[in-house]
Every structure is written in structure tokens, then in C-alpha cells.
Amino acid sequence: MDDLDPERHSQLYRLDALPEGFLDCPVNRLDTLLKGPTLIRLRGERQPPLFVSVLLHGNEVTGLLAIQRLLTDFRERAVALPRDLWLFVGNIEAARYGVRRLPGQPDYNRIWAGGTHPECRMAAELLGELERQPPFAALDVHNNSGRNPIYGCINQLDARYLRLARQFSSILVYFTEPNQVLSVALSRLCPAATLECGLSGAPEGISRVARLIDALLTEGELPGTFPETDLELLHTVARVTVSDADQIAFGRQVERYDLCLPNDLDTLNFQPLPADTLIGWRSPNARGLSVADNAGRDVTAHYIRYDGDRILTRRPCVMSMLTRDITVIYQDCLCYIMEPYSL
């Protein structure tokens, strides 16, 4: 991988039209069209703009593919966009290699609450632009590296935010931590949602994102009332991480590895797990799992117990974002713990 140029990623690039070839450009070739993180402002017939963010993680391509599909359709029909569309294309360097982020880079979805990385200056510049012209609504499009249902996330329990996310999925997750993510910053400006589209590039996720963006471009307003029927709402209460010092493997191999996980681990996502569900094994020298609640307090003993080399849930819970991607586990987390939430 090429050395990163900090200056290239410490500023926000702006365009007022799509670069030639953008609509059929493979994700790993975007760096030939864009210099770095770029805000593309497309004119429509109505303001304020709809804001859409894609590729904060370079291996999550659904958002880009949905935008390419939708804008190709508008172009082929030779019709104007019904509303201004502001498209933010994030980590094109990581997209070049098909990875979440490159070594030496911060996570592009953890730079939106300040910090010392050059990318934090870029993030502050984009948020300043959005503060000057708050969007009609905002979407941040992501994928999961493990098997999860398609679901939406919100950071405020406001009817407009709930309605926005509900147009995408009947499964919604309310979270406030981590607070450095883009959607938390956006939710202070306008109705905002994170779209979790299942596995990267899966057709159903692409179709749902394209349909939602199309609908929002033509929507006159987001109603301030919300029907609570046909809704599964969950609240993220804790985050499970592993130590960088623990060597991870799949399958029970505790004689060779520190932390071992079931081969079908990601089938547990969004399933009600009873107490004493097996979620892994550890060697005698392993650090094991760490669980922190939304205030950063260590609550490992509240959720996890050990029986010999087995790692078990201590109480009933629901988990999300369990993955078989070991790099993602180290870079982000093993999973989040959620509880049902009643409005």
C-alpha cells in the first residue's frame, strides 16, 4: 500500500458536478477521479439538500452502488433531480484496497467529534458546511461484515428521525455511543439515520437505499408524527471488545490461540440469546472479552462469565455486528449488546 499523504486527507474537496465516468466507476478506481474525501453538490429543483454519505469504510460499497444506480436512472430519463443532493464520498484510499481503513488511518466513522488526526480537520470542515446550510435530511450508508438483517439506526428519539429510518427498515436501533460517528453529528442538524445494509454489495441493500433516496428527493417534508406499529426498536447499551494482544481464531483451538470464536458466530446477530449462550473459548493466558457500557464503565461481569475455557453470556441479551472478519474485530469491536426499547 502506498504511503498516506496527510495533507490529502486533512482537507475537504468540493465538486459541483459528477466527475466524468463516476456513474460506472468501480469502487477501487474512485481514487482516479477524486483527490480525497469529496463533497459533490448536485443541483435539483428544491432546497434544502438531501445529504448522503458513502464509503466512510472502504469495504462497504452498497451506498456508492445505490447512488450510481439512482443517478444513472435520472440521467437516462433526462429528468432533473427533484431536490438538491449533496453526496459525501469518504475513504477512497481504503476503497482502493477494499478494506475498512488503511494502517495509520483513523476510522472515518470516528472522526466527527474532534480529535488530532488530519481527517478530523476535514470532518470539521464538512460539518461547518452543513451547519451553514442544514440538510432536509441526512443518510449515512454502511454495511456489516457479518450476517445481520438490514436495519436502520437513529441517535434521537424524535418522530421525524424514527419515520426517516422506518422508511428503510422495520428494525431500528437507537444508540448514543460511540458519539464520534457521523450520524450523531448530523442528528444535531436535521433528521438523520444510519442505514445498515447487510453484507456489502448485496442486491437487497442496494435496492432499499436507492428507493429511500429516490423517495426523499421527492418528499416535501418529514411528518412530525410516527406510527409505532410494525416496529422492532432496540437500544445499544454496551460494546464488546478484544485485546490487541489476544490472538483470535475460529473453531475451538485454545491450545494454539488466546481467543477462539464459533464458526457460526454471526448467526447469533439480532437473536434473543438466553443466559449461558456459548460465544467462544479462551486460553488460560488470554485477556478475554471486555464490555463497556455507554458511560465507558467496565460491565464485563454483568454480561459475560467463564466456565473453564468456555465464554458464556451471563444474562439474556441481543447482540449485533458479530463478524468473522478478524481485522474488523481488532479495528472496531466484536459486537454491540442491545436491549428492546419501548417508545
Q: Which tens digit of pLDDT belongs to each residue from 161-180?
A: 999 999 999 999 999 999 99
What is the reported pLDDT for 190? 97
> Could you give phi then psi for residue 139, rounded to 5 degrees?
-130, 135
H and E: helices and strands count for the chain: 9, 18
332 and 257, same domain (yes or no) = yes
The contacts of residue 113 (CB under 8 Å, 6+ apart) are 179, 180, 184, 185
CATH number of the domain that residue 75 is part of: 3.40.630.10
CA distances from 282 to 135, 285, 298 (A): 48, 8, 19
What is the reported pLDDT for 7? 65
45 and 188, same domain (yes or no) = yes
> Could you give phi then psi for residue 113, rounded to 5 degrees?
-130, 30
Query: Of the candidates 151, 183, 218, which is a domain's last residue?
Result: 218
182 and 265, same domain (yes or no) = no
Under-70 pLDDT residues of the chain: 1-9, 227-228
CA distance 243 to 258: 10
Question: Is 196 within the bounds of a domain?
Answer: yes
CA distance 279 to 262: 7
195 and 277, same domain (yes or no) = no
Nearest Cα neighbor of 108 from 18, 201, 12, 30 is 12
What is the reported pLDDT for 2? 55
* Cell numbers at 332, concatenated: 472496531
Question: Is 229 within the bounds of a domain?
Answer: no
What is the reported pLDDT for 20? 97
Query: Of the candidates 218, 248, 282, which is a domain's last residue?
Result: 218
* Cell numbers at 303, concatenated: 454480561
Nearest Cα neighbor of 15 from 33, 32, 40 is 40
* Cell numbers at 228, concatenated: 409505532
189 and 285, same domain (yes or no) = no
CA distance 173 to 33: 35
pTM > 0.75: yes
Contact 331, 91 (CB under 8 A): no
Domain of residue 56: give its range.
Answer: 6-218
Question: Is 232 within the bounds of a domain?
Answer: no
Give me the sign of the Cα torsion angle 92, 97, 99, 103. Answer: negative
What is the reported pLDDT for 18? 98
212 and 250, same domain (yes or no) = no
182 and 246, same domain (yes or no) = no
Question: Is 308 within the bounds of a domain?
Answer: yes
Question: Is 228 within the bounds of a domain?
Answer: no
Contact 295, 241 (CB under 8 A): no
Question: Is 44 within the bounds of a domain?
Answer: yes
60 and 166, same domain (yes or no) = yes
Number of domains in the chain: 2
Question: Is 225 within the bounds of a domain?
Answer: no
83 and 183, same domain (yes or no) = yes
* Cell numbers at 310, concatenated: 468456555
* Cell numbers at 10, concatenated: 486533512
Secondary structure of residue 196 in the 3-state scheme: strand
Query: Of the candidates 148, 183, 218, which is a domain's last residue?
Result: 218
212 and 255, same domain (yes or no) = no
- Residue at 14: amino acid letter: R
208 and 241, same domain (yes or no) = no
Nearest Cα neighbor of 119 from 8, 224, 283, 246 is 8
Question: Is 206 within the bounds of a domain?
Answer: yes
83 and 187, same domain (yes or no) = yes
